[in-house]
């Protein structure tokens, strides 16, 4: 049964990895780079600090804990225990895997720490802001970023699914601990129209974050044509 699942994973990988184009090469490469999203990360931190003042340190710390857990569980623990070769290092797939810019990644790939980190950030901020539009955009960002690892040839779909599970659980745990240990940082603020259900963040602040991420994705998509 396990061998059948592994072979199915390889088959799905080859089909997804083969969906290539010059535009997608550039788009997926830069989408997968952490440096691309530094401006959005700065805006995220600025919004949290602006809204929460001194309490912002606890929220930023919780986000850091989410990423630390996701990264260490996936890369520091599971990869070294399972030792599943990445597609780019799998002998049976030599010559079949499409890569970009010669990037092949490290030796082992299960689970994807990249997918774990991105979905961890996405789930935590979805719980933090509780806004439908933001949730759709940040979830789309995390899923495209995760797929980029398959496109670049360094992860199987199974690696991604495992990473998504690890990242989601890491975010849920961090958010739970934040609510229990520092509930003050997530207080519901009162407004002229009643209770603000967005953990104290204003709609304009959340809209700014949503717009910054949406515009960043759109700009990357456009410049990838050139």
Beta strands, E only, 102-225: 190-191, 194-195
Full DSSP string of 162-185: HHHHHHHHHHHHHHHHHHHH-GGG
Phi/psi at 56 (nearest 5 deg)?
A: -60, -30
Residue 192 is predicted with a pLDDT of 44
Q: Which of 159, 158, 36 is nearest to 28 (CA)?
A: 36
Residue 198 is predicted with a pLDDT of 82
Q: Which domain holds residue 110?
A: 2-223
Q: In this predicted model, which residue has the larger pLDDT, 222 or 192? A: 222
Query: pLDDT of 174-186, one tens digit each?
Result: 999 999 999 999 8
Would you place residue 200 in the very low, low, confident or very high pLDDT band (cuts 50, 70, 90)? Answer: confident
Would you place residue 173 in the very low, low, confident or very high pLDDT band (cuts 50, 70, 90)? Answer: very high
Calculate mean pLDDT across residues 135-147: 98
Query: pLDDT of 87-97, one tens digit each?
Result: 999 999 999 99
**Residue 207 maps to which CATH number?**
1.20.144
Mean pLDDT of the chain: 94
Whole-model pTM: value is 0.94
Residue 191 is predicted with a pLDDT of 47
Query: pLDDT of 102-129, one tens digit each?
Result: 999 999 999 999 999 999 999 999 999 9
Residue 197 is predicted with a pLDDT of 63
Q: How many separate domains does the chain show?
A: 1
Q: How far is CA 161 from CA 68, 149, 198, in A?
A: 19, 12, 29
Phi/psi at 191 (nearest 5 deg)?
A: -120, 180
Calculate mean pLDDT across residues 12-35: 96
User: What percent of the chain has pLDDT above 70?
Assistant: 96
Whole-number Å distance between alpha carbons of 99 and 154: 8
The dihedral built from the CA positions of residue 82, 86, 87 and 91, taken in this order, carries a sign that is: negative
Contact predicate 45/60, CB 8 Å: yes
Would you place residue 196 in the very low, low, confident or very high pLDDT band (cuts 50, 70, 90)? Answer: low
Residue 25, sorted as left (phi over 0), alpha (psi -120 to 50) or beta, turns out to be alpha
Whether 193 has a pLDDT exceeding 60, the answer reads no
Whole-number Å distance between alpha carbons of 222 and 26: 11
């Amino acid at each position: 049964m396990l061998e059948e699942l592994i072979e199915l994973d390889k088959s799905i990988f080859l089909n997804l990895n083969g969906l290539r184009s010059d535009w997608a090469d550039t788009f997926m490469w830069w989408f997968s780079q952490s440096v691309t999203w530094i401006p959005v990360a700065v805006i995220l931190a600025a919004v949290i600090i602006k809204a929460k003042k001194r309490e912002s340190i606890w929220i930023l710390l919780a986000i850091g804990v989410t990423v630390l857990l996701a990264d260490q569980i996936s890369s520091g623990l599971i990869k070294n225990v399972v030792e599943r070769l990445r597609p780019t290092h799998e002998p049976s797939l030599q010559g079949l895997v499409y890569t970009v810019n010669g990037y092949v990644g490290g030796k082992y790939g299960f689970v994807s720490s990249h997918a774990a980190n991105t979905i961890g950030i996405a789930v935590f901020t979805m719980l933090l802001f509780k806004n439908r539009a933001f949730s759709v955009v940040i979830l789309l960002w995390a899923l495209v970023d995760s797929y980029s690892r398959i496109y670049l040839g360094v992860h199987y779909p199974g690696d991604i699914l495992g990473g998504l599970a690890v990242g989601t659980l890491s975010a849920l745990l961090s958010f739970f601990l934040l609510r229990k240990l520092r509930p003050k940082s997530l207080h519901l603020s009162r407004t002229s129209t009643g209770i603000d259900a967005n953990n104290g963040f204003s709609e304009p602040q959340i809209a700014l974050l949503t717009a910054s991420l949406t515009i960043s994705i759109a700009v990357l998509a456009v410049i990838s044509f050139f």
